[in-house]
Structure 1
Amino acid sequence: MLCFGRTDDNIDQNRALYIFYSSVVVLEFILGLLLNITVIHLFVFKLKFWKSKTIDIFLFNLVLADILLLIGLPVKAYNFQQCSEQKVVCKVQLFLQFLNRGASIAFLTVISIYRYFSVVHPGKRKVLRILRLSPQISVFIWVLLGILTIPAMLQSFFRCNSSEKDEQISPIILLREIVFFTQIFIPFFVLVYCSIRIIRRLKQKSVGDKTKLRRAMFLVTSVVFVFAVCFLPYAITRAVQLHINGLVMKEEKVTVVKLYDGLVCLSYLNCLLDPILYCLSSSKFKKLYISMYLPFLLEKEQPEIACNCILIHFE
């Protein structure tokens, strides 16, 4: 964040931009928290996810990661408005951001892999039995990500104070960057591959029901689209920033960091869009959600829900 440590004119110009960023973050926090809390309420008190199918446990952990990520957004918005941040708070926030965003991406990827084997390779029972160990897999993901995210606490992703010098490459920084790019680009390619194979398989299995096929294809591709919009731009911008470090004028570096901060705000949309995808992807979940929180839409939506043609479990 580059709102401070510069001339008064630059401060005023940057402050207006970062106040806008702050407003976006606040809006995402309010809408995202409301949606995710209602979703997790259904998982815990209505669906009793621990007794449900494998994918429900993964979905619950995905929602939990989104909520934990959203909790830190008020601090992010406050820092944007004040154009300053305490170093300790900055590092803690970055740790939680990387941990929960990484968990969100990891569970999204595991869900896609589970759907892939359930639809494309249903005969591979050994793999499916392993994937059905969802509680153990969930604990492993959280512990592994916690360990891999420690470098974010030791040295911040971006300078937590504008007066600090550019970082010198060290084993900790190198590990941090490898983890960051690995947890975004590898899952993206996995999602793309799984989605393509699932769509091909659905086309082969679909007989006459074009509406069902189109909806299933839309839901599968929506996950990839949301991932690409939310995570790829800011990851690419980070790569650009690393590439130009020390090679361009200070003003150009400032522009790249401003762009990065804006794309980070965009990445939080994932927490807002995930619950919407849940409602679209399961007829059972959609009916329950509408009956609990939007009963005035129930009569209108009932015929569509009754068709039971939206896929999420693929079982």
Structure 2
Amino acid sequence: MESTMHPSDNCTVETKPLYVFYSVVVIVEFVLALPLNLTVIYLFIFKLKFWKTNTNNIFLFNLVLADILLLICLPVKAYSFQMGERRSQNEVVCKAMLFMLFLNRGASIAFLTVISIDRYFNVVHPRKKNFLKILKKSPHISILIWLLLLPLTIPTMLKTFECCNSLGREDENLTTDIFREIVFFTQILIPFIVLVFCTAQIVNRLKKKTVGDRTKLRRAVFLVTSVMLVFSLCFLPCTISRMVLLLVRVKEYPEAEAIAVQVYDGLMCLSYLDCLLDPLVYCLSSTKFQTLYLEHYLPFLIGKDGQPSDSSHSTGNNSNTAPLKHAQRENMATQGTSSAS
């Protein structure tokens, strides 16, 4: 009986040293990302007062909130790996962990996508009325995202997802397994397609912009490109490995499945890296946030002019516009003198 058992029919690992290494990776991610995200959320709440500012800050706050909730799960996952288990043997802990991980990863993906869509409409269709702009004055869209994610996460509570019998093991659970896999893949692949579209459209808009201020467009390009890179690094590898794992599982290749399971778990650990990379999105989204963060935590990086030392392009633009404004003021004064005489 035991010799015919499939590699993923239980949560016990086959190569414990590998999972000990995975646990170290998870711990490093936790140690680096937790203080970073706590400092970010402090600024959003107490300095920026995100609920009083623009919608972009509301989306960013929800993104950092999803990251922090995800980070809470990482010590439990690292402990399970240290014990030689892919997931906790305690059923309640295991299902709670899966629920939290899927909910917060889904939220992270959703808010990264919404931020890119918001920037797409602001840059490519600045004058068009759209559903997103209607909701920009309130946090309703953020609440809606969290509410929509809840029912999509419920299937992870019905049966342990990554350790046992998923898709192709037990016919009576086939419908639940198929729905769970559809949710897993669509919440990654569809947003990725949207991100590619937004990035391509904004880059195309930048190329067509021959006159006027191109700085805003460049920042938009940097933002959507960084979001797509974070997405590609953190979420696409685990999605592809999941496809391979399901393929070898359905084809019943136990030895290949044993390898695929280990690769999948390792790439899932890589996906938690988005908690470290998301702050890059914050800095690219808002110059105000970037300056505020440096002033509070890294003041030695602030130049004598009060601007970040790497923002010479911003000061350069200001210096170029200063003579023009001065000339305009002189012209207005001259016109005023002429009319008075």
For 2:52, the equivalent position in structure 1 comes to: 51
For 1:120, the equivalent position in structure 2 comes to: 124
Alpha-carbon separation, structure 2, partners of 1:59 and 1:102: 15
**Helix, strand or coil for the counterpart of 2:107?**
helix
Alpha-carbon separation, structure 2, partners of 1:185 and 1:178: 10
TM-score if structure 2 supplies the norm length?
0.81
For 1:255, the equivalent position in structure 2 comes to: 259
For 1:82, the equivalent position in structure 2 comes to: 83
1:271 equivalent to 2:275? Answer yes
Q: Which amino acid aligns with 1:265?
A: C
Q: Which amino acid aligns with 2:274?
A: N
The partner residue of 1:234 within 220, 228, 238 is 238
Alpha-carbon separation, structure 2, partners of 1:134 and 1:183: 24
Alpha-carbon separation, structure 2, partners of 1:289 and 1:187: 29
For 1:94, the equivalent position in structure 2 comes to: 98
1:211 to partner: Cα distance: 7.7
For 2:321, the equivalent position in structure 1 comes to: none
**Helix, strand or coil for the counterpart of 1:158?**
coil
Answer yes or no: is the 8 Å Cα contact 1:58–1:134 preserved in 2.
no
1:142 equivalent to 2:146? Answer yes
Q: Which amino acid aligns with 2:32?
A: L
**Helix, strand or coil for the counterpart of 2:303?**
helix
Answer yes or no: is the 8 Å Cα contact 2:58–2:139 preserved in 1.
yes
1:303 to partner: Cα distance: 4.5
Alpha-carbon separation, structure 2, partners of 1:124 and 1:273: 32
Q: Which amino acid aligns with 2:29?
A: E
For 2:203, the equivalent position in structure 1 comes to: 199
Answer yes or no: is the 8 Å Cα contact 2:206–2:218 preserved in 1.
no
For 2:338, the equivalent position in structure 1 comes to: none
Q: Which amino acid aligns with 1:196?
A: A
For 1:42, the equivalent position in structure 2 comes to: 43
Which segments of 5 or more consecutive residues in structure 2 lack a partner in the other structure? Answer: 1-6, 316-341
The partner residue of 2:308 within 282, 302, 308 is 302
Q: How has the CA–CA distance of structure 1 residues 209 and 115 changed in structure 2, closer, same or farther, with 3 Å as cutoff?
A: closer
Q: Which amino acid aligns with 1:130?
A: I
For 2:327, the equivalent position in structure 1 comes to: none
For 1:312, the equivalent position in structure 2 comes to: none
1:198-255 deviations in Å (ceiling 9; x for gaps): 1111232354878876665333212111101110111111111112214243221110
Answer yes or no: is the 8 Å Cα contact 1:286–1:305 preserved in 2.
no
1:77 to partner: Cα distance: 0.4
Stretch of structure 1 that moved more, 87-96 or 97-106 = 87-96
Alpha-carbon separation, structure 1, partners of 2:312 and 2:291: 9
**Helix, strand or coil for the counterpart of 1:125?**
coil
Alpha-carbon separation, structure 2, partners of 1:186 and 1:193: 11
Q: How has the CA–CA distance of structure 1 residues 5 and 41 changed in structure 2, closer, same or farther, with 3 Å as cutoff?
A: closer
1:160 to partner: Cα distance: 5.6
1:304 to partner: Cα distance: 3.5
Which segments of 5 or more consecutive residues in structure 1 lack a partner in the other structure? Answer: 310-315
Alpha-carbon separation, structure 1, partners of 2:109 and 2:23: 24
1:219 equivalent to 2:223? Answer yes
Q: How has the CA–CA distance of structure 1 residues 182 and 5 changed in structure 2, closer, same or farther, with 3 Å as cutoff?
A: closer
For 2:297, the equivalent position in structure 1 comes to: 293
Stretch of structure 1 that moved more, 205-214 or 246-255 = 205-214
Percent same amino acid at aligned positions?
Answer: 59
For 2:21, the equivalent position in structure 1 comes to: 20
Q: How has the CA–CA distance of structure 1 residues 182 and 103 changed in structure 2, closer, same or farther, with 3 Å as cutoff?
A: same
Alpha-carbon separation, structure 2, partners of 1:118 and 1:141: 21
Answer yes or no: is the 8 Å Cα contact 1:105–1:187 preserved in 2.
yes
TM-score if structure 1 supplies the norm length?
0.87
Alpha-carbon separation, structure 1, partners of 2:190 and 2:113: 10
Residue pairs, 1:173-212, within 5 angstroms? 173-205=177-209, 207=211
Alpha-carbon separation, structure 2, partners of 1:70 and 1:46: 23
Q: How has the CA–CA distance of structure 1 residues 5 and 28 changed in structure 2, closer, same or farther, with 3 Å as cutoff?
A: closer
Answer yes or no: is the 8 Å Cα contact 1:290–1:298 preserved in 2.
yes
Q: Which amino acid aligns with 1:19?
A: V
Answer yes or no: is the 8 Å Cα contact 1:68–1:100 preserved in 2.
yes
**Helix, strand or coil for the counterpart of 1:72?**
helix
The partner residue of 1:244 within 239, 245, 248 is 248
Alpha-carbon separation, structure 1, partners of 2:218 and 2:288: 19
1:89 to partner: Cα distance: 1.3
1:279 to partner: Cα distance: 2.1
